């Protein structure tokens, strides 16, 4: 009995002794983790400054900042693990990460997919922060491109957060990519209108509107014989920003309507012609010669 108690006592003593020996290493590891936080902030700020001086692209500046932040944390955590567990070697950590990455990859495949898509978006720059884009059913201004998500502010002031994998695999329409955009404005005139006169009026008016670019020059095309009108298409170029497009389009509509009214050119309403028939005379259920009553009487006799 005394031997058993002595054995337990010795085991507890060894365990406590081992724990006491580990405490300084654990404390040092915690200090390293604590300092890593400030080191990560420092490296991130430093990389931001370097990126602003050397890189013109905001996307690449963001990628440099995020990379510095992640690398600092990886180095700090790895160093803390090596100090806290003296028997743990760097090769063991790399092997453990290699084995664990398979299981983690299956569990967090969406996160890794978005991460890799974010890195590719930042490197390839299909669009930039501040661009106005259409992605799937969402339209607005790109506010931020993170490693995992892309944030868009819609024209109604709503925030849309899209996974980078969705952005990377979807068709993206960048409306401000070239600095100017074309607007196609349909105008219908009455069939009695002299078309050359209407075309000259439209060409003159659209060229006088402030904000309409002279290069490329506006174009007036005849495009369609509609039910109640002959349709023109006024094509003109403006700055690419959505606010400019909307503002100038409103000016164009007001100016065109006034010019056509002054020239006594009407923009017709849709016309529908209705025909009324005598349903007793033109019934699909009566014989063409109208002798249904006579035939019915003959059958009864």
Which residues does 270 contact at the CB level (< 8 Å), separation at least 6? Answer: 227, 228
Q: Which of 97, 39, 44 is closest to 67 using CA atoms?
A: 44
Rg (CA), the chain: 38
pLDDT at 295 (0 to 100): 43
Phi, psi of 207 (to 5 degrees): -75, -15
pLDDT at 159 (0 to 100): 94
How do the pLDDT tens digits run along the chain, 301 residues long?
555 665 655 565 555 555 556 677 777 878 888 888 888 888 888 887 887 777 766 667 777 777 788 888 888 887 777 777 666 565 555 555 555 555 555 555 777 788 888 888 888 888 988 999 999 889 999 998 887 899 999 999 999 999 999 999 999 999 999 989 999 999 999 998 999 999 999 999 999 999 999 999 999 999 999 888 999 999 999 999 999 999 999 999 999 999 999 999 988 877 676 766 666 665 555 555 555 444 444 444 4
Q: Domain-by-domain residue ranges, the chain? A: 2-107, 126-174, 178-301
0.95 exceeded by pTM: no
* Cα distance between residue 12 and residue 156, in whole Å: 67
pLDDT at 180 (0 to 100): 93
Supply the CATH classification number for the domain 2-107: 1.10.287
pLDDT at 105 (0 to 100): 54
Topology of domain 126-174, per CATH? SH3 type barrels. (2.30.30)
* Cα distance between residue 57 and residue 122, in whole Å: 9
Name the DSSP class of 210: T
Residues 99, 110 contacting (CB under 8 angstroms): no
Identical fold between 2-107 and 126-174: no
pLDDT at 1 (0 to 100): 56
Give me 271's structure tokens.
């016309």
In 125-194, which ranges are continuous DSSP H helix?
164-169
Residues 161, 75 contacting (CB under 8 angstroms): no
pLDDT at 280 (0 to 100): 64
pLDDT at 235 (0 to 100): 96
Question: Could you tell me which CATH class the domain 178-301 is placed in?
Answer: alpha beta
pLDDT at 72 (0 to 100): 86
Phi, psi of 144 (to 5 degrees): -155, 145
């Amino acid at each position: 009995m005394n031997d058993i108690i002595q054995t337990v006592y010795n085991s507890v003593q060894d365990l406590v002794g081992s724990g006491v020996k580990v405490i300084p290493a654990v404390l040092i590891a915690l200090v390293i983790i604590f300092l890593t936080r400030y080191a990560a902030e420092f490296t991130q700020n430093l990389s931001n400054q370097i990126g602003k001086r050397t890189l013109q692209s905001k996307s690449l500046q963001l990628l440099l900042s995020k990379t510095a932040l992640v690398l600092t944390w990886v180095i700090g955590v790895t160093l803390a693990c090596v100090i806290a567990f003296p028997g743990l070697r760097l090769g063991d950590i790399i092997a453990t990460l290699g084995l664990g990455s398979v299981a983690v990859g299956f569990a967090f495949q969406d996160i890794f997919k978005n991460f890799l898509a974010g890195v590719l978006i930042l490197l390839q720059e299909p669009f930039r922060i501040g661009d106005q884009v259409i992605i799937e059913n969402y339209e607005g201004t790109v506010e931020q491109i993170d490693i995992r998500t892309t944030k868009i502010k819609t024209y109604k002031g709503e925030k849309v957060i899209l996974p980078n994998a969705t952005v990377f695999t979807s068709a993206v329409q960048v409306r401000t990519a070239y600095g100017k955009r074309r607007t196609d404005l349909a105008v219908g005139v009455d069939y009695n209108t002299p078309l050359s006169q209407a075309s000259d009026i439209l060409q003159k008016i659209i060229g006088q509107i402030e904000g309409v670019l002279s290069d490329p020059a506006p174009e007036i095309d005849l495009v369609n014989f509609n039910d109640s009108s002959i349709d023109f298409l006024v094509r003109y170029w403006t700055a690419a920003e959505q606010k400019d497009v909307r503002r100038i389009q409103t000016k164009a509509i007001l100016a065109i309507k006034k010019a056509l009214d002054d020239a006594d050119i009407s923009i017709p309403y849709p016309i529908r012609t209705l025909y009324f028939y005598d349903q007793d005379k033109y019934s699909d259920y009566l014989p063409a010669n109208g002798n249904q009553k006579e035939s019915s009487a003959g059958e009864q006799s």
